[in-house]
Amino acid sequence: MALILNGTTGISGTNALTGVTGINSGQIGGRRNIVMNGEMKVAQRSASVTGLGSGSGYFTLDRYRIGTNAASAGRFTMAQVADGPAGFANCLKLTVTTADTSIAAGERLIITQRFEGQDLQQLNKGTSSAEQVTVSFYVKGNAAALYVCELFDSDNSRSITQSFAVTTDWNRIELTFAADTSDPLNDDNGNSLEINFWLHGGSTFTGGTFAVNTWNDYTEANRYAVANRTSIFDATSRTFFITGIQMEVGSTATDFESRSFCEEYDLCKRYYYQSYDLGVAAATTSNAGSVMLNVITGNSFRYNIYFSPSMRASPTMTFYNVEDGTAGEMNIEGNGGSNPEAIAITFNSPKRAMLYNTNIGIAGNYYFHYTALAEL
């Protein structure tokens, strides 16, 4: 039987096809993209958060961590918005609400995704067969800018950097990073590699030498030391948009590998899950999606929460009173937040958490929400 590629027949005696970026305008096959939620589809915690800039954490779009510190005077909003380039419904948008032109030494603003080492063994890092890695993504802003994309090997404290330019139009950036024959990544569920998008940095991160596309032992002063760099905090209302992030083995940026919402959601739930509806922030007063227990006065209870898929590690769990959002409580139906009962965990694993209370004072239907956190 002849192999048909876009209407062409008669390929025979060929052991390899090179330079082919797609079949019938689609992906070649298999999963190429190591990045999760690259299309910015999943935002469990909230679609938009304001007042960011003084601390690090996960705030809106799943798997994307914002790195800042208290030294910065700059403030910004992070949001999932429907303003992607052709073929992409959503993007991540940062909007500066307070500029910061007097930059302290330790300031930074980084968008990060972290990866488990067991998902990166195909890179062959630390061996003579180490692979190049290509990172591609779409970016734009409301002003021209020069930022930095960094791969950081947290297992061995090594990093490699390249700069990229932003214009007022959507552009696809394609960066191929050199192979690293030094220091293999751990084959476990810990944080082995990070992809970091640097948008701002003080002299702690800019005072060194910017080594383009060269793996080096980690030196803080080199991380954002590119000449002519800009800061997103240069002016109030400065924006940065990004979507379609892909990281793959090899030297070619192939077409973006699109996955269904359900698949992306399952991948994200390995690291974070909440009982609240998608996009509803924890501690919100809401009954939708909550857990209900029917409890008899004076009795203890045991209740199992099962995680599907299994989480990366035993999660840190927080419970919320549906009536007023108070953490650590459940509340009887229709009681307006009064007569809460405490919730504790007696057993916790990546697959299951067992909750308990040893003495319930009032019989009735109790409700609570929960979050489960196992991020890297």
Q: In the chain, where are the structural domains located?
A: 48-269, 274-373
pLDDT over 90, % of the chain? 78
Fold of the domain spanning 274-373: Immunoglobulin-like (2.60.40)
Cα torsion for 32, 35, 40, 41, to the nearest 10°? 60
pLDDT value for 3: 47
> Which CATH number is 48-269 given?
2.60.120.260
Residue 168 CB contacts under 8 Å (≥ 6 apart), including other chains: 140, 141, 142, 143, 144
Whether the model pTM is above 0.85: yes
pLDDT at 17: 61
Q: Which pLDDT tens digit goes with each residue over 215-268?
A: 999 999 999 999 999 999 999 999 999 999 999 999 999 999 999 999 999 999
The residue with greater pLDDT, 166 or 101, is 166
Tens-digit pLDDT profile for residues 317-370: 999 999 889 999 888 876 666 678 888 888 899 999 999 887 787 888 889 999
For residues 44-73, average pLDDT = 95
pLDDT by residue (tens digit) across 255-314?
999 999 999 999 999 999 999 999 999 999 999 999 998 887 777 788 999 999 999 999
Q: With bands split at pLDDT 50, 70 and 90, how would you rate the model's confidence at 19? A: low
